[in-house]
Each structure stands twice: as C-alpha cells, then as structure tokens.
C-alpha cells in the first residue's frame, strides 16, 4: 500500500488502468475437480491471478498431539510459487504466507462442520501460480470450492474479494498497481446464506462512510462470486453424471455375463 494518491489510477471518466469501472470485478473463472489425486480440488482465475487449491481429508491428524478429540482441525497452507511474481519469490514459508494460511484456516474452521470428524485433519493447500494482487481472496474462493468438491459438509461456500481505496475512490477487486499505489486494501470473505463476515483485514486508511461503502460493494461482489462457485460445482457434477451414465450399460453387461 503505497498510499501515493498522486499517481493517476482512475481517469476522468471513472475508468481504471485495466479498463474497469470502480465497481467492476476482473474476469473470473472457476473450475472444480481439476486434480485426480486430491479428495477435492479447484482452479481459479481472478484476472491475472491463477490459483490451484487441493483438499485432503478428513484424515488422521499428524502430529498426534495436534488432534482434537471433539472436532477436526483445518490446516491451510498458502504458498506462492517462485515464478508467480515478477521478482523471483524465495521458496518456502515466510511471514506473509504464514499469516495468510492462518486466517484462511480460521475462516474454514468456522464454516466446516468440524464436529463431525473428531481427531482428524482437513488439509487445504493453496498454490499461487501467478499473482496480481488479491491472491488470498482467489485462494480462499478456490479452497472453498475444493472443500465442497471433497464432499466435506459446510455451512456454505465462501466467496472472497478485496475492496480498496484508490485516488480517493472506493474500488472493487484491486489489481497489482492499485494494490501497490492505492490508499487502502480490504480483503473480505462472507457466508452468503447468513451474511456473516468471516474474514476481514485492512491495510491503509478509510473513513467510516468509505468503509461502509467498501463493505457494501464487497458483499455485493461476493454474491456474484458465490454464483460462479455454485456454477463450477454444478458443471463438475453434470460431467460426472454423463460419465456415470455412459459407464452404466457396460457394468450391467458384466453382471449378466
Ligand atoms: N507480491 C509480490 N511478491 C511477494 C508478495 C506479494 O510480488 O513476495 C505481489 C503479488 O502480486 C500479490 C500482491 O503483491 O498478489 C499483493 O500482495 P498482498 O500481500 O496484498 O496479498 P494479496 O493481495 O495477493 O492477497
């Protein structure tokens, strides 16, 4: 967050440097079930962000001292691949990835019915393949679809997006330059069914009216992302249904033979 409001990131017609209006999302693509060996998976693009999420479990929790006899624990690992950013990212965890992993784990602990799976661990891996600001939101959106794809019972899917302040205006879904030179960045995630906010962070400054506007804009955008998440899962299971139907006659023949 540079906080340098002298750099013109929104023109006089209200158009941003990538051609979007202030309340417009980047193009979003969501695909469920992209990895064969994971119990659940998803691939998400938010503009130039490209993120993969894989879910394993519920499975026996190791190390065992971390087991909780009353519920499952959700362990998320967010990782940026070295080539995902313009300056090569040093491999391995750092302060930022540990923080992002923690807040995403906590968000999912709240939505997953963890009490159904005592002593187990639900492991969520988020790999950022290409980054252009908003990767924690894209990662959370992907991980939520991956959890659903793994068949893990949850209160709801969790859409996530960042809202920010750029050139004294509230803007939706910041891209890299807006994130770098803007005045504020507010990633959030909600449970659409109840309207609860389960992740909110803020970098920079906003007045109370600006914050209210940002929240309203973010919640509205989350509802759009929610529809895309549901659509991705519906497409995934429609494909599976076609495959099942195609395989059925062969199975019957074998049984008769
Ligand atoms: N970034 C980078 N190198 C890093 C970390 C971040 O180039 O080591 C870039 C990347 O494009 C990222 C953006 O800075 O998406 C904003 O990072 P931030 O910490 O705000 O998290 P994000 O917006 O991705 O959730």
pLDDT at res. 249: 61
Sign of the torsion angle spanned by Cα atoms 190, 195, 196, 197: positive
Domain annotation covers residue 142: yes
Domain annotation covers residue 5: no
Domain annotation covers residue 90: yes
Ligand 1 pocket, residue 85 CB under 6 Å: yes
Say yes or no to pLDDT of 150 above 90: yes
Say yes or no to pLDDT of 204 above 60: yes
Helices (H) and strands (E) in the chain, counts: 4, 10
Domain of residue 51: give its range.
28-256
Ligand 1 pocket, residue 144 CB under 6 Å: no
Say yes or no to pLDDT of 184 above 50: yes
Domain annotation covers residue 16: no
Domain annotation covers residue 182: yes
Mutate to test the pocket of ligand 1, among 49, 76, 128, 131 (most ligand atoms within 8 A of CB): 131
Ligand 1, atom 18, lies closest to the CA of 133
Q: How many domains does the chain have?
A: 1
pLDDT at res. 208: 98
pLDDT single digits (tens) 153-165:
999 999 999 999 9
Ligand 1 pocket, residue 29 CB under 6 Å: no
Domain annotation covers residue 139: yes
Domain annotation covers residue 1: no
Domain annotation covers residue 3: no
134-159: string of b/e by CB count within 10 Å (b at 16+)? bbbbbbbbbbbbbbbbbebebebbbb
* Average confidence (pLDDT) over 60-64: 92
Give the Cα separation of 106 and 14 in Å (integer). 37
Query: What is the domain-level CATH number for residue 248?
Result: 3.30.230.70
Q: CA 4 → CA 9, 138, 167, distances in Å?
A: 10, 26, 8
């Amino acid at each position: 967050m540079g906080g340098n409001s002298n750099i013109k990131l929104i023109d006089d017609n209200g158009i941003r440097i990538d051609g979007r209006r202030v309340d417009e999302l980047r193009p979003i693509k969501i695909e469920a079930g992209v990895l064969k060996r994971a119990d659940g998976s998803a691939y998400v693009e938010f503009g130039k962000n490209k993120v993969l999420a894989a879910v394993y479990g519920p499975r026996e929790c190791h190390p065992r001292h971390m087991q909780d006899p009353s519920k499952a624990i959700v362990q998320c690992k967010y990782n940026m691949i070295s080539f995902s950013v313009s300056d090569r990212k040093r491999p391995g965890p750092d302060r930022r990835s540990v923080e992002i992993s923690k807040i995403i784990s906590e968000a999912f602990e709240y939505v997953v019915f963890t009490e159904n799976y005592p002593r187990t661990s639900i492991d969520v891996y988020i790999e950022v393949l290409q980054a252009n600001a908003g990767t924690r939101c894209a990662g959370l959106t992907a991980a939520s679809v991956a959890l659903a794809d793994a068949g893990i019972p949850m209160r709801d899917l969790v859409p996530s997006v960042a809202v920010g302040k750029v050139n004294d205006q509230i803007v939706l879904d910041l891209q890299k330059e807006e994130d770098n030179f803007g005045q504020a960045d507010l990633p959030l995630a909600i449970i659409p069914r109840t309207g609860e906010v389960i992740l909110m962070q803020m970098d920079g400054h906003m007045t109370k009216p600006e914050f209210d506007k940002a929240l309203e804009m973010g919640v509205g955008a989350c509802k759009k992302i929610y529809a895309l998440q549901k659509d991705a899962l519906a497409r995934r299971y429609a494909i599976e249904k076609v495959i099942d139907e195609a395989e059925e006659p062969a199975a019957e023949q074998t049984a008769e033979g």
